[in-house]
Chain A
Amino acid sequence: MMYADVYVDEPLDKIVDDWDFLAEKVLPRFMGFRPVGDNVYGIRQILMEAPKTVGEHKGTGPVLAVKNRRHLEIGPKGVTVIKRTPLVAHLTLAGTPHHTEFVYGYWHINDMDEISIDLPPTADQPGYVLLIQGHPKGNEADRIAWYCEKCTALVYMSELVSGTLGFKDFWNWERQAVREYNGDPKRRICPDCGHANSVGYAAFANNDTPEEREARLKW
């Protein structure tokens, strides 16, 4: 190696924190969304189980991804199912509402692009979803929205100006937005077609109410 004479002569783990985000001791720090430098990262373990057991994990456990979940986006033609293949990165471009079944019960809309890639399991490690989202700045925001299940009209939306406020309040805001939406049945009525939509649920299943738990199994 050309640079062997000038290698820093210390173990890497001692001089660089978190140099491999997928390392066993580092990975749990990314179970939520963690801003590092110019991106916000999330790593989710892919569960090899049916959605009916999601949310039965105790404690403050990680956000989990269910094996047979569908990834959905909303565009001019309505709801689109995004085929997911291991090692094929999907880029959800800024402004596209996206939702993953059984994982979070709302539509997430970023002002930044989001890259998601499924990493297949290895002999000694489960499969993971790696999420890389651009880091919002200034007025750039994250939004949680609900669109009508029947006609895709916007029903309700909450915004966090994450570019200014940062991500420290993301999960509190997310939980609060879900509770606000669920708290009044009138908020879930479509203003266009009058359909009464399902309740939403947050990404962390451990605080589900019974009705949120039921919704998590449904969509």
Chain B
Amino acid sequence: MVSAEPELGFDFDVTGPTGSWIRHGNHALWRATRSSDQPPYILHEWCERGVRPFPTSGSKPVFHRVPEGTPYHIAHLFGFWVANDVDAMLLTVPHGPITHLMLVVGGRTGKPAEASTLHVCPKCAARFGEATFSAVQSGYDRFLDFALKRVRAFNADPKLRTCPNCGAVHPPIYGFHEEADTPEERAARTAG
């Protein structure tokens, strides 16, 4: 007889090396470590009035919730904007010369199920180019693969980068995983 013991729980070491997403139960999790010689990740949220940057606060940890449906972008981590069908949370913990980060998406049964990528015009804050990926249940990394394909199409076509509201041309952007960057994407990531 084959018997499988139920899993009670598991540990997720936030201080571990930057890695891929873990999708387990009600949440998807990701972690990163940044040193002081790297530009800090800066969370931005889109709202009707424009873009709001959320600073980290020196030596203290910060825990911020991004409400479901709110487009967000983390400068130097991913160059596109994301809107999830469930809340996201970012924990930032400075620890001497390094900063640990944990990004969590989830909280409802069956979610995250969908995630969208979009762009925000840096001149007028208009949203454009939104596309939804509906198979997030199969792994958050699959959504990021989808996003990277869209990043590359966006960078390759000035028409896709032209704001439908003001006509400004969006600079090139970058995907989630730095190791996959092309030289153009790496330059865009550095610029933030």
Determine, out of B12-20, B131-139, B147-155, B175-183, the stretch whose residues face the partner at the interface. Answer: B12-20
Does A3 lie within 8 Å of B68, measured CB to CB?
no
Chain A 29-69 interface 0/1 with B at a Cβ cutoff of 8 Å (1 = within): 00000001111000000000000000000000000000000
Does A92 lie within 8 Å of B9, measured CB to CB?
yes
Does B67 lie within 8 Å of A130, measured CB to CB?
no
Q: What is the bound-complex CA distance between A113 and B27, given in angstroms?
A: 8
Does B89 lie within 8 Å of A6, measured CB to CB?
no
Beyond A75-B6, A87-B93, is A20–B27 a contact (Cβ under 8 Å)? no
Number of A-B contacts (CB under 8 A): 163
Contacts of B55 on A, CB cut-off 8 Å? Answer: 12
Count of A interface residues, CB-CB < 8 Å = 52
Contacts of B87 on A, CB cut-off 8 Å? Answer: 37-39
Measuring CB to CB, which residues of chain B are less than 8 angstroms from any residue of chain A? 5-15, 24-27, 29, 42, 44, 47, 49-55, 57, 59-65, 67-68, 73, 75, 86-87, 89, 91, 93, 95, 100, 102, 104, 106-109, 111, 120-125, 171, 191-192
A-B contact pairs, 15 of them (CB 8 A): A3-B73, A3-B120, A5-B122, A8-B52, A15-B52, A75-B5, A76-B6, A88-B14, A89-B13, A91-B10, A95-B6, A98-B9, A113-B25, A134-B109, A135-B108
Task: Across the A-B interface, give the 10 residue pairs with the lowest CB-CB distance, nearest first.
Answer: A38-B107, A134-B26, A39-B107, A6-B125, A38-B87, A113-B25, A113-B26, A89-B12, A3-B51, A96-B8
